[in-house]
Every structure is written in C-alpha cells, then in structure tokens.
Amino acid sequence: MVVFPNCKINVGLNILRKREDGYHDLDTIFYPIPITDVLEILPSSNQNDPVEFSMSGIQMDANKENNLCIKAYWLLKKDFAHLPPIKMHLHKSIPMGAGLGGGSADAAFTLRLLNDKFNLGCSTKQLIEYAAALGSDCPFFILNTAAAATGRGEQLTSTNLNLKGYQLILVNPGIHISTKEAFAQLKPCIPGKSINEIIQQPIHCWPNELKNDFESSIFISHPAIAWIKSSFYQQGALFASMSGSGSTVYGIFPKDAPAFLLPTETFDTSGYWIKTITL
C-alpha cells in the first residue's frame, strides 16, 4: 500500500511564551500543500528485523533511532502486539529542516497507513494522540486540512482559510535551520490580534499584520532567506513569509501572475529548490 505524505506551510507564526515543560506556546495556521513524499508499507516475514526500512530521493539521517516513521511503528506496536513485521520504503521529495513539516507528515502518514492496512481500529482522536507523542505538528497531518494551531502546535481548530485559485511559489535555499538555532534569539510576545483574526481580512492587508516571529533572528543569521522574501514582493507577491522556523520561503501570487525568476546577481541560486503550484 502506497500513500503520499504532503507538506504544509505556516500562514503566520507567533511564539507567545515559553512553557514550564520547555516547549513554547504558539499561534499559527497550518495549511496543507500538495508537494509530497512517497511512503510504501508491505507485510514482512522477517522476525529478526520487524521494520526493514529503505529510502530514496533526498538523503537524510540513516540512524533508525531518529527516524520518525520507525518510531511511529514501535509506538503502535506497544499497544497492538499483533502488528506484524513490515517493509517500509520512503522516497523523500520534501526538503528537511525546511519549515515544511515533511518529517512530521511522514510519521503521521505512517500511523494512518498502519492503522488502515492492518485494521487496528484506531479512531481519529487516538491517531492524533499517537501523533502528538511523535512531534508537535504531527497531529495536523492526521486531519490534514487547514487548521489554526495553538498550544505547542497540537491543539487544532478548523479555520475558513482557503487559498484556492492562488499561485503559490516555494523557494528553499538549502539552508538547514535547527530548532535550537531558531529559538536561540527569539523573544516571545503576545500580539494584539490572533492570526485567525488577521486572515479574515483581504490578503492585501496581511503584509502589514501577519508575521512569522522567527524571521527577525533568522534573517540576520541567513540574509539569503530575507533576500528571497524581498524578491517575492519585488515581483508582485500578495503575501510572502518564511514557513515555520525556515528555511523555506513562500510567496502567494495571483493565479495569472508572470513567471517568478530569482535574480542571480546577489546569491548563487544553483542549489535552490523551487516549486510553483496553483492551489
């Protein structure tokens, strides 16, 4: 059985406060984007290696202990002892450390696929609870519809945000932003408006109010990321932002906008990942 874990963008991201458990309370909107990895799971008879894992595409850490898909299997195995050995293949197309939630999507889709393929009978609520144990934005990919996220990202409520008909361009400069780096110089604060309030306004109002709190420090450390955002606005973006803690930046354009071209005189863009999607 094959599934296609998709990524997400953050439409606005406010970091409100640091919690006693070490996490941060946030306010954001997760919006699903049809750029996908490919995940296949087949039954296996190999009792000596319950998870035979292989991968292709973008290379990532081969350490099984750090792999969220494998962690998802063992998380379910604790409660469903009859879960059989499997062969799992992951083809990576979504950049990692990019603010797109690719790893979280892979983990959540693993939970969903195992539940469906082996008739575990988990409800959506149970899958969300398992996903929350794997990562803060994993629960979003269980529902996989636009949602306002609070808490550490696991508290989800539906939102009426609809970007259908717009052109979305994503640019990743190949810079890996670690969570530690992203939070190092961050100063949490509570804004006057929630993101869900701001996005009720026409999109041309968003640049004045809709922010990603990580940008102020990340842009100083990595000017190429700030330059991508500036390039979007220079070429007519209605709204542009870094997604998550970076390093991907996206621009929302009218459907009939001219082709977007990154200028090459400032930074070497030869290794950049660029995707254009009509939503």
**Amino acid present at 81:** A
Residue with tokens 């780096």: 181
- As a whole number of Å, the CA-based R_g of the chain is 19
Active-site residue, from 27, 37, 106, 137: 137
For residues 170 and 249, is the Cβ–Cβ distance under 8 A?
A: yes
DSSP 3-state assignment of 276?
strand
In Å, how far are 26, 118, 130, 158, 228 from 214, measured between CA atoms?
A: 12, 40, 28, 24, 15
In the residue annotation, 180 being an active-site residue is answered as no
| Half-sphere exposure (Cβ direction) of 97: Cα atoms closer than 13 Å | 14
The region, left, alpha or beta by phi > 0 then psi within -120 to 50, assigned to residue 215 is alpha
Alpha helices in the chain (DSSP H): 68-79, 102-117, 124-134, 138-143, 179-184, 195-198, 206-209, 215-221, 223-234
Which residues are bridge partners to 116 per DSSP?
none
In the residue annotation, 8 being an active-site residue is answered as yes
| Closest among 235, 239, 175, 241 to 214, alpha carbons compared | 241
Residue with tokens 């970091």: 15
For residues 245 and 182, is the Cβ–Cβ distance under 8 A?
A: yes
Active site residues: 8, 137
